[in-house]
Amino acid sequence: MASTDSAANARGYQQLLDFARQHVPGRRCWALEGTGSYGSGLAAFLDAADESVVEVCRPKRPAVRGGRKTDMLDAVRAAREALATEHLIHPRRRGEREALRVLLATRQSAVLASTAAINLLKALIISAPDELRVELRGMKSKDQVAHCAKLRDRPTQNIEHRMTVRALRSAGQRIEALRSEAKELELELLALVRTVAPELLALQGIGLSAAQILISWSHSGRFRSEAAFAAFAGVAPIPASSGLTNRHRINRSGDRQLNRALHTITLIRIRLDPVTRAYVARRISEGKTARDAQRCLKRAICRQLFKLLERGAQPTRQINADDLLTRLIEA
């Protein structure tokens, strides 16, 4: 068994590839850990060189304390895990998918920072001097932000009043800037989704959630079946039957961001789509609880999205978001 190491740059990646070609001529398979973070550079380089790359989870550490730990041993564990795994994981693509990911991550960061700034503004208003609280009393949250962002210095007031005005103005301007940034990123995300998969936006209840769906799905052929995609999304129910009891329990594993996107789509369709409401009512009439019926709907939506993404857009056929649910109701 041969081993080597190299720097994490283009020259080092080429050295690794030359080393592999020397010792493993012909067909090869690379088992990489962390292809979405520290291993992303090597994964992209190997993909561009038409090498076969699979992703492995972090190798299990020895159960006993004091187990050996080196980069070489981790590499051996990763190779053994890839050889023993029945279903190998293909790394997610870069390019447009990675562009969606960085935009969505930045927008989520802006939204969280905006929420934190709003909480700060509310706390400042509660403890502000009476004169300032009277100005802001009765206003809606949006109007309070706009008013605070335009506050001017008041030299005639005491230092507490002046500094509170300064803090309120800073918080208000921060909120407006973050909201504007989030809106710009949202427009860029939607424009990119229209370029990559416009058929997703044609479905009812799917807006910005389409970006997360494309990020998690990545590319055609990554999942061996729609059942595997449902398990990855955490919407495949887990059997929990015992004796005469026949039931399933909720799946709390998988990609939680994708699960959240499917949950959002489900809630929108239940609220706006009469076909979806009829489906949920039918499930409840069969003895399921409202939450179980909602989980069944989420599973059906996941199946619909997977089939749509795998086959791509079909210009000869009009895509209708209610097709799958209508067939379920008529079944």
What's residue 311's pLDDT? 84
For the chain, the farthest-separated pair of C-alpha atoms sits apart, in whole angstroms, at 82
Q: Are 189 and 101 in contact (CB under 8 A)?
A: no
Among candidate residues 35, 42, 179, the one with its CA nearest the CA of residue 118: 179
DSSP codes, 196-232: H-HHHHTSTT-STHHHHHHHHH-STTSSSSHHHHHHH
How many Cα neighbours within 13 Å face the side chain of 40? 8
The answer to whether the CB of 126 falls within 8 A of the CB of 102 is no
Q: Please state, in angstroms and rounded to a whole number, the distance separating the CA atoms of residues 296 and 196.
A: 28
C-alpha distances out from residue 228 to 117, 197, 254, 303, Å: 40, 21, 10, 10
Angle, alpha carbons 81-85-88 (nearest 5°):
105
Tens digit of each residue's pLDDT, the chain (331 residues) = 788 888 889 999 999 999 999 988 888 889 898 888 888 899 999 989 999 998 887 766 666 556 667 778 888 888 888 888 877 788 888 889 999 999 999 999 999 999 999 999 999 999 999 999 999 998 999 999 999 999 999 998 999 999 999 999 999 999 999 999 999 999 999 999 999 999 999 898 999 999 999 999 999 888 989 999 999 999 988 888 888 777 777 888 889 999 999 999 999 999 999 999 999 999 999 988 898 899 999 999 999 999 999 987 444 344 344 454 455 444 4
Sign of the CA dihedral with 40 first, then 45, 50, and 51 last = negative
At 34, is the secondary structure helix, strand, or coil?
Answer: coil
- φ, ψ at 254 (rounded to 5°): 85, -170
Phi, psi (rounded to 5 degrees) for 169: -65, -40
Q: What is the pLDDT of residue 68?
A: 66
Q: What is the pLDDT of residue 209?
A: 94
- Residues pairing with 29 in the sheet: 52
Rounded CA separation 195/201 (Å): 11
Question: How would DSSP label each residue in 83-105?
Answer: HH-SSPBPPPP-THHHHHHHHHH
**Are 293 and 283 spatial neighbours (Cβ–Cβ below 8 Å)?**
yes
Closest listed residue to residue 36, CA positions, set 215, 227, 259, 233: 215
Q: How many CB atoms lie within 10 A of CB 241?
A: 10
Closest by alpha carbon to 91, among 37, 28, 11?
37
Is residue 159 classed exposed, middle or buried when 0-12, 13-18 and 19+ CB atoms within 10 A define those classes?
Answer: exposed
